[in-house]
Structure 1
Amino acid sequence: MLAVAIVVITLALVFYTIGVWAERIQGTLRWWHAGAFALGLACDVTGTMLMSRIADESDGPTSALNTVMIWTGGLAIALMAVHLVWAVVVLVRDRASEKASFHRLSIVVWAIWLIPYVTGAIGAMTAD
């Protein structure tokens, strides 16, 4: 199950990164970017649920690194959800200025999302 969780979390990284950076490079928010955000969020939630199930089956203590990953991971999922909802609002309102400046929020949410991804990877590589 760990391998599946790692693949799904990595797919979240791929989808979210493509959506965020394509939006930034293209200079305006488009519906397919919101689709990439949604796929990234879905993969992240699924991967997090799988990782949580694995952790529940483990008898070991929670390390400080895992605690950071848990808290920042929860924050990142919440921010990704808000980001997706706001993207849909911006797209529905169809204001050019909002669509052109949306990337600022995207970059911040993406950068925060990287924290639990990286801490999780480090934690997995350094586990006994």
Structure 2
Amino acid sequence: MLVYASTAITMALVFYSIGVWSEKLQGQLKVWHLVVFYLGLVCDTIGTMLMGELAGGVTLLSFHGLTGLLAILLMLFHAVWATVVLVRNDQKARANFHKLSLIVWLIWLIPFVSGAIFGVAF
């Protein structure tokens, strides 16, 4: 199960990074970015659930647990807000969306890195 969990979390990193950085480089939120954001969210959620099972249950009473929950909630908010921006087709919002994306991505990296450190070290 560790292989599946690690693969899912790594795919979340790949999808989310591609979506966020390509959106920034292209200068505008596009539909395919939204698809990649949702793929990252799904992979992160699956990976987190599998890791929780491996750990004997998810505890939110830790740095990793709290930041992980925050990251998934922010990813969900980010994807839903991207959907709203695309549906409204507000060109200014589409052009500035990368600012939110970068913040959410940076916050998401905290539990990703802490999970890798704590998982390897302990």
Using the size of structure 1 for normalisation, the TM-score is 0.91
Superimposed CA distance per residue, residues 31-75 of structure 1 (whole angstroms, 9 cap, x where no aligned partner): 000000000000000000000101117xxxx8xxx8211100000
RMSD in angstroms over aligned alpha carbons?
1.3
Q: Distance in 1 between matches of 2:108 and 2:93?
A: 22
Matched residue count: 120
The match for 1:79 is 74
Q: Name the amino acid aligned to 2:117.
A: I
SS in 1 for 2:55: helix
- Gaps (5+ residues) in structure 2? none
Decide which of 97, 108, 114 is 1:119's aligned counterpart. 114
Cα deviation, residue 104, structure 1? 0.4
Give the match's secondary structure for 1:56. Answer: coil
Distance in 2, Cα, partners of 1:33 & 1:2? 28
Once the two structures are TM-superposed, the CA of residue 124 in structure 1 deviates from its matched residue by: 1.3
What is the CA distance between 1:97 and its match in structure 2?
A: 0.3
Partner of 1:7: 7
After the TM superposition, which residues 1-128 of structure 1 pair with which residues of structure 2 at under 5 Å, given as runs?
1-56=1-56, 67-127=62-122
Question: Partners of 1:67 and 1:36 in 2: how far apart?
Answer: 29
Equivalent-residue separation in structure 2 for 1:69 and 1:34 (angstroms): 26
In structure 2, C-alpha distance between the alignment counterparts of 1:73 and 1:3, rounded to whole Å: 19
Q: Distance in 2 between matches of 1:126 and 1:48?
A: 18
- The structure 1 segments of at least 4 consecutive aligned residues displaced by more than 6 Å after TM superposition are none
**Cα distance in 2 between the residues matched to 1:125 and 1:81:** 28
Look at both structures and tell me which one has the larger radius of gyration over its CA atoms.
Answer: 1
List alignment gaps of at least 5 residues for structure 1: none
CA distance in 1, matches of 2:110, 2:77: 18
